[in-house]
Amino acid sequence: MQGLVTKSTGSWYQVQTPDGRRYDCRIKGKFRIKGLTTTNPVAVGDKVDFELEPEQEQGVITKLYDRRNYIIRKSINLSKQAQIIAANLDQAYLVVTLASPRTSLGFIDRFLVTAEAYDIPASLVYNKLDMFSKEGLEILSEYKMVYEKLGYPCYEVSALKGTNIPALKDKLKDKITLFSGHSGVGKSSLMNAILPDLDLRTMEVSEWSDKGMHTTTFAEMYDLPGGGSIIDTPGIRELGVIDIEQQELSYFFPEMRSRLNQCRFNNCRHINEPGCAVLEAVENGDIEPSRYESYLSIYNGNDTRS
């Protein structure tokens, strides 16, 4: 049978067939991806073949189909190992807040660079709109302008009050969307507002523990009532930017990418080179200083997680 992986614990995978049934499956044999050593070979969003074990409700995954794209998380140790979080995404949404807690611009830019590197369209969802003062709303519209100009759609919502949730739902229709965000930005509240029957989740989790499966999920997919699905990544703070060479980094900033062929040197690092079109654009205000700071920070390998 063919199915879609909707949940993964690293040893168990939940696979959904086109008729909507879900089966718990294990993996048999080895699945290797060229050039990438991963701790989990199959991830949420993967299309697989599986066979049910005789007289059992559980199955064995026998084939993994090619991925359109995938996102990974670096392992904590220094080995080259990575964990695949999700595969075959149509878009990635980062939930952010301007206050309580404030999502830093460095964090946002890092997320956007990662999405560019994986070739996944990214959007920003500003939550807790109900908390904004008049000045706050002005700052918000400035932020939105910066990112929208770069081609990243921005939405302002209140999960608490339900503001602009129907418009957001429209954008999710028939797409597979990854939701990401710092702890406390209201990602869970937002998902509850989008998926009215999310209470199902807690039930499923306890069912899994009854079977003695360990229930630390990397990611989980939920179907939207009107078509499409969203992928939640509980406990994952940041997507890993691995495999980006320093020389490639500017390519993942759209405002730099469009100027790269105007630099005097074709191996320009855009740091202090004469005739650098990027530096020139920063100086005359065509590139946002905060974006350039993020470039330098990622270039120098600094952690911008705060």
Ligand X SMILES: Nc1nc2c(ncn2[C@@H]2O[C@H](COP(=O)(O)OP(=O)(O)OP(=O)(O)O)[C@@H](O)[C@H]2O)c(=O)[nH]1
Q: Where do contacts with Zn ion occur on this chain (CB under 5 A)? A: 263, 268, 270, 276, 278
Can you list the positions of beta strands (E) in the chain?
A: 2-8, 13-16, 22-27, 47-52, 59-64, 70-74, 82-87, 91-96, 122-126, 154-156, 176-181, 219-223, 229-232
* Residue 186 known to bind ligand: yes
Cβ distance to ligand X smaller for residue 106 or 186: 186
* Residue 129 known to bind ligand: yes
Asked if 185 is part of the footprint of ligand X (rule: CB under 6 A), the reply reads yes
Question: Which one of 13-21, 135-143, 178-186, 198-206 is the stretch in contact with ligand X (CB under 6 A)?
Answer: 178-186
Question: Which one of 31-39, 134-142, 152-160, 216-224 is the stretch in contact with ligand X (CB under 6 A)?
Answer: 152-160
Cβ distance to Zn ion smaller for residue 23 or 253: 253
Q: How far apart are the first and last CA of the chain?
A: 45
Residues sharing a CB contact under 8 Å with residue 258, sequence separation 6 or more, in sequence order: none
User: How many angstroms separate the CA atoms of 183 and 206, rounded?
Assistant: 23
Indicate the residue type of 208. Answer: W
The helix (H) or strand (E) run that includes residue 103 is: none
Question: Which one of 66-74, 154-162, 197-205, 286-294 is the stretch in contact with ligand X (CB under 6 A)?
Answer: 154-162
CB of 131 to ligand X, least distance (A): 5
CB of 117 to Zn ion, least distance (A): 19
Asked if 165 is part of the footprint of ligand X (rule: CB under 6 A), the reply reads no
Asked if 140 is part of the footprint of ligand X (rule: CB under 6 A), the reply reads no
Asked if 194 is part of the footprint of ligand X (rule: CB under 6 A), the reply reads no
Query: Which residue from 99, 131, 139, 145 is in contact with ligand X, where contact means CB under 6 A?
Result: 131
User: How many angstroms separate the CA atoms of 14 and 43, rounded?
Assistant: 10
**Contact, 292 vs 104, CB < 8 A?**
no
**Contact, 82 vs 73, CB < 8 A?**
yes
CB of 192 to ligand X, least distance (A): 7
* Residue 182 known to bind ligand: yes
Cβ distance to Zn ion smaller for residue 24 or 116: 116
Cβ distance to ligand X smaller for residue 13 or 222: 222
How many chain residues are in contact with ligand X, going by CB under 6 A? 15
Asked if 250 is part of the footprint of ligand X (rule: CB under 6 A), the reply reads no
Indicate the residue type of 211. Answer: K
Select from Zn ion, ligand X, none the partner in contact with residue 181, using the beta carbon and a kind-dependent cut-off of 5 to 8 Å. ligand X
Asked if 103 is part of the footprint of ligand X (rule: CB under 6 A), the reply reads no
Asked if 186 is part of the footprint of ligand X (rule: CB under 6 A), the reply reads yes
**Contact, 44 vs 9, CB < 8 A?**
no
Cβ distance to ligand X smaller for residue 139 or 296: 139
**Contact, 306 vs 110, CB < 8 A?**
no
User: How many angstroms separate the CA atoms of 246 and 243, rounded?
Assistant: 9
Strand partners, 60: 26, 51
> What DSSP state is assigned to residue 250?
G
User: How many angstroms separate the CA atoms of 6 and 25, rounded?
Assistant: 11
Tokens of 84: 């695949």
User: How many angstroms separate the CA atoms of 262 and 288, rounded?
Assistant: 18
* Residue 181 known to bind ligand: yes
Closest residue to ligand X using C-beta atoms: 186
Select from Zn ion, ligand X, none the partner in contact with residue 281, using the beta carbon and a kind-dependent cut-off of 5 to 8 Å. none
Binding site for ligand X (CB under 6 A): 127-128, 130-131, 158-160, 181, 183-189
Residues making up the binding site for Zn(2+): 263, 268, 270, 276
